[in-house]
Amino acid sequence: MEIIIGSIPPLGPTPPRAAETGSTVEAHLLHIRQPRKGIAGPSGMERRGKKVNDPQRGRVLTILVPDANSLPKDIDSEKYKVILRFVRK
């Protein structure tokens, strides 16, 4: 008897590697909300740790990228600019 704990490598072709700069990644739009306004506590002071002002005419979009392998590995480094293009379904 042999007991193996963990997972086996997937059968078939290997998944694509991380996206290169300038590549297209498809995402799903999950939620849209208005920009933040100041949140004053009972004392009248801002309750958030750091003061953040969203642009008045801005919108906050929550998007989901279904395949994280299509994102660059160093996406957290803030070296990237995100450009959106909307296409009707």
Distances (CA, A) of 35 to 32, 46, 50, 85: 10, 16, 16, 20
Domain assignment of residue 15, yes or no: no
Segment 10-58, tens digit of pLDDT: 666 766 655 566 678 889 989 998 887 766 666 666 656 666 677 778 8
Give the CA angle between residues 60, 31, 86 to the nearest 5°: 80
Domain assignment of residue 31, yes or no: yes
What is the pTM (predicted TM-score) of this model? 0.55
Domain assignment of residue 13, yes or no: no
- 70: domain range? 23-89
Domain assignment of residue 42, yes or no: yes
The reported pLDDT for the residue numbered 41 is 64
Domain assignment of residue 18, yes or no: no
Distances (CA, A) of 7 to 4, 10, 56, 68: 8, 9, 49, 19
Total domains in the fold of the chain: 1
